[in-house]
Chain A
């Protein structure tokens, strides 16, 4: 009906009024909706948004805690902190990376390779991870960056603390180093402290093992900051709680001395206390400088370290495995005594011994004549041991080797240690599915063949032989530790071995030059030379560095009242002659530091300075040669992985190919210099064991 009506002005007006009313109601409805929404946000959700607004307004910036110190046994710092000025970058906040870096390199005087390092790190870092630009800045440079801050978004100058290792490379492997947390670290531990500029976590060694103890509790600075991060005002600061210190059994002076004394060689020195098992020095050289590692590993430094065939990144004390050579002879002799062998039982050494259808030579192929146990030790006569080892049997020898610590695991706070092998018939059956052969015994008894040990085990062996106590290497100082129990050896057996070992140094033995220049202190020791390649490749004395024999020396002093034991391993030193002078000087330092230091200073003049000076010179040479062209250093994660890879346990010999390892030549006793000649090659010489390079 309505539709049919003609449209009139009145109807339209009426319609307009109705519809306007509807429109007005709709507007009122929207108004009510908005009011309700406003009330919901402002009243009902007030708490939530208040918190959100506060967390916007207040910026909590963490102050990295000062790391706990690492102290030596006398309280001297091996790792401490020093106040410094530093500059970091947060890639996310940087607007123009190139311009920022070029401004910074102008202000801070960064070299091209440093700028390259920073660029690499910026690319690899997740945006929120701070990247270190420079640390240890002087006040002028720090201030220069600080005043230019408005044009350098993302740049954070800070004064804080950085890790400092007073003796540098000497403690590189002992203490480890620190570095910025990697993305993986952050993933594992979602702690905002990890991405705080200037904060570092332990990356290796003790720094890593004792991370939780050393870390401490961060301080905090509450500031009111704008959305772009500009600080408007300070709201308060909470001081950090420094991490707890750890005190080691190490003697800092001795550690440093030993590191310096190794000189240009690649080797390890371990010194232990014969009453407690305290490790007084544990050195692997060459090493890296943990100070510069902790500032970030630069490309030149990385190239320098990874190009070095002396593997400065490997902790040789715990991860280097070597055939121990003749240093096992006192141990083997002790097992003979335990097994009831009369020490006066003799064998005539004519320079070799036929075993089966093969002749095993003595290192002195002219022969030692009638040889009893003492002479077997101090002259290091191989034939004596070939003969009686066959008589006593490998199981007895292997049991003694394990009792004295060879092939054993010691709970040292380092990841990825290598423990080596003490072979016995059961082991060979398990490993190679072949039966133990008599020549395996012959090889093992002179510390060749399958036998592999690390220098710490050698030091432990020396300390156990010296003291007759069941000593285990201890790195953390504990003055209330229980006294170690006795090994249960007969004192007369020990006295016999001690006397023979004393003869090595102070009598008719193989290391007369190792005599201590200390009045009233006599050192007992045993030399060892381990072949690296068969005599068909090289004679072990000269030629390619990598083909030279390893030099070993174990010792303790004073011989009649053992207090200190020491093991020295020099990789490719060309024989024990490279090892025992170092042992002598290190032991001299224990009793008379000044005297030892005088000797060292003379050496360092020939070597071109101390460790630090030599590393600096090498660095400069590399920088001059490669500059920014050196390949980029791996990021922290990769670097520590590569360091770990360096430290992977040595591969076991893959095949039983050690049937007739020739005895390594011993250094000629000073009493008879004419005898310096290499032993004749044997029938089918083959590499004994090739410790990796």
Chain B
């Protein structure tokens, strides 16, 4: 009944996810406000403002027709690959590793955009692949190349975290596209064999050290292990109800590194306790469940894969970051979606959300067409 008074364009928005997300971002703003010592500057205000800007962007993405998505998949991918090469070249000239391009008005991190990019291009690929080819080599080799180029470029930077995120998104698309299970089992076995080899031969010293320290953080209490140890102290000392808003000593006294970016969850947990942590987890559960539900209800193969892939990309961020801050994964520079301060990751995540919203829109249109 009420719906009649609300304009279509507003009523049609997926409020069941926008409202929880907004709550989460505002909560994140509160955490950043506290982390800045009780100031909106420099993080909290920007964080919330960015969210709303990118929310509008997501809503606009949601209005893009499916054909345009399909049409632009390959060009976008190609452009992103070019940008990655460009970054590599500039980095080579400048000396040292560079991950971003300075566009003047913002710094663009192509590897960040490649996360939804790879999902898009692979979804397009599998949707256009003839059904009968799914078990053949044609279903494996081209995606492997499509993945290999950007993943290789990103790892070269070297940015192991983002490289893994891109690969994870791609592998999940392949999995959902119906590729034979034995490939994944075989891949997992191969990975188990390759991991130690990679550890000894492929990783950089600082990466290897991070892994070692992750195994035993106390071995290096003032170096790399410091991050993990301080983060666990922050979370553990928060207890069930937390130390109270603005009372987090770990973050306020600078013991917690990266308190407003990668370790924002620890900052939050210290002040809001396990309750705050469960709230964050619950909202992530709502968002991810919505994403997978949209994927399940999607009208066609492209949109199904696209929505599931985007959900997975967000999931990967959450999973790795939270495992890292709680001492279950080595320190890799991956921020926590919607809580960590940072434009690039907010943009990537909102692109994912916008894409899922688009899929949602297509399926509603499809179903409404049926009715």
Contacts and interface: CB of A to CB of B under 8 A. Distances in A.
Interface stretch (B48-56, B106-114, B270-278, B358-366): B270-278
B172 A23 contact: yes
Contact of B176 (A19, A37, A226): A19
Given A7-B131, A15-B178, A43 B274 contact: yes
Given A24-B289, A43-B274, A53 B176 contact: no
A38 B278 contact: yes
Contact of A53 (B249, B254, B322): B249
Interface residues of A, number: 43
Given A9-B131, A16-B178, A27-B288, A49 B236 contact: yes
Interface stretch (B69-77, B141-149, B227-235): B227-235
Interface in A1-53: 6-9, 11-13, 15-17, 19-20, 23-24, 27-28, 30-31, 33-35, 37-39, 41-43, 45-46, 48-50, 52-53
A225 B253 CA distance: 7
A227 B232 CA distance: 16
Contacts of B254: 226-228
Contacts of B273: 42
Contacts of B327: 41
B319 interface: yes
A48 B236 contact: yes
A49 to B, nearest CB: 3
B313 to A, nearest CB: 12
Contacts of A16: 176-178, 301, 304-305, 308
Given A7-B132, A49-B232, A12 B239 contact: no
Interface in A207-261: 224-228, 232
A56 interface: yes
Contacts of A28: 285
Contacts of A159: none
Given A38-B278, A41-B326, A42-B238, A224 B132 contact: no
A24 B274 CA distance: 24
B237 interface: yes
A232 B253 contact: yes
Nearest to A53: B237
Of B178, B304, B319, the most chain A CB neighbours within 10 A belong to: B178
B263 interface: no
Given A30-B319, A226-B254, A227-B253, A20 B308 contact: yes
A49 B292 contact: no
Interface in B172-197: 172, 175-178
Interface string B266-287: 0001100110011001001100
A28 B134 CA distance: 28
A57 interface: yes
B308 A53 contact: no
A13 B301 contact: yes
B176 to A, nearest CB: 5
A87 to B, nearest CB: 25
A37 B328 contact: yes
Contacts of B239: 42-43, 46, 50
A52 B296 CA distance: 47
Contacts of B238: 42
B366 to A, nearest CB: 14
Contacts of B249: 53, 56-57, 224
B232 A34 contact: no
Range class of the B interface residue count: 35 or more
A31 B326 CA distance: 13
B322 A34 contact: yes
A224 B253 CA distance: 8
B308 A23 contact: yes
A9 B301 CA distance: 9
A636 to B, nearest CB: 27
B236 A34 contact: no
B323 interface: yes
B225 to A, nearest CB: 13
Contacts of A52: 233, 236-237
Contacts of A37: 326, 328
The winner among A34, A50, A56 for most chain B CB atoms within 10 A is A34
B356 to A, nearest CB: 13
Q: Is the interface of B mostly helix, strand, loop or mixed?
A: helix
Interface string B10-48: 000000000000000000000000000000000000000
B237 A46 contact: yes
B214 interface: no
Contacts, number: 139
Nearest to B293: A24
Contacts of A12: 131, 134, 177-178, 301
B312 interface: yes
Interface in A390-434: none
A533 to B, nearest CB: 62
B178 A8 contact: no
Nearest to A43: B240
Contact of A38 (B312, B319, B326): B326
Interface in B229-266: 230, 232-240, 249-250, 253-255
Contact of B250 (A27, A53, A224): A53
Nearest to B312: A23
Nearest to B180: A3
A56 B134 contact: no
B250 to A, nearest CB: 6
A565 B323 CA distance: 83
B219 interface: no
A37 B154 CA distance: 31
A148 to B, nearest CB: 22
Interface in B108-139: 131-132, 134-135
A49 B233 contact: yes
Contacts of A39: 274
Contact of B132 (A6, A15, A49, A57): A6
Given A20-B308, A23-B312, A50-B239, A56 B319 contact: no
B315 interface: yes
A12 B300 CA distance: 11
Interface in B149-186: 172, 175-178
Contacts of B240: 42-43, 46
B62 interface: no
Given A42-B273, A49-B237, A225-B253, A20 B176 contact: yes
B131 A34 contact: no
B131 to A, nearest CB: 5
A154 to B, nearest CB: 16
B274 A42 contact: yes
Given A27-B288, A38-B326, A39-B274, A20 B236 contact: no
Given A41-B235, A49-B236, A53-B234, A20 B296 contact: yes
A50 B237 contact: yes
A41 B239 CA distance: 8
A56 B328 CA distance: 23
Nearest to B326: A37
Interface in A65-117: none
B348 to A, nearest CB: 18
B285 A31 contact: yes
A52 B274 CA distance: 18
A12 B139 CA distance: 13
- A-B pairs with the 10 shortest C-beta distances? A49-B236, A53-B237, A57-B249, A42-B274, A227-B254, A15-B178, A49-B237, A41-B236, A226-B253, A52-B233
12 contacts: A6-B132, A12-B134, A13-B304, A19-B178, A23-B172, A27-B315, A38-B277, A45-B236, A52-B233, A57-B249, A57-B250, A227-B255
Given A30-B315, A56-B255, 9 more contacts: A7-B132, A9-B131, A12-B301, A15-B178, A23-B292, A33-B328, A43-B240, A48-B236, A53-B270
Interface of B: 131-132, 134-135, 172, 175-178, 230, 232-240, 249-250, 253-255, 269-270, 273-274, 277-278, 281, 284-285, 288-289, 292, 295-296, 301, 304-305, 308, 312, 315, 319, 322-323, 326-328
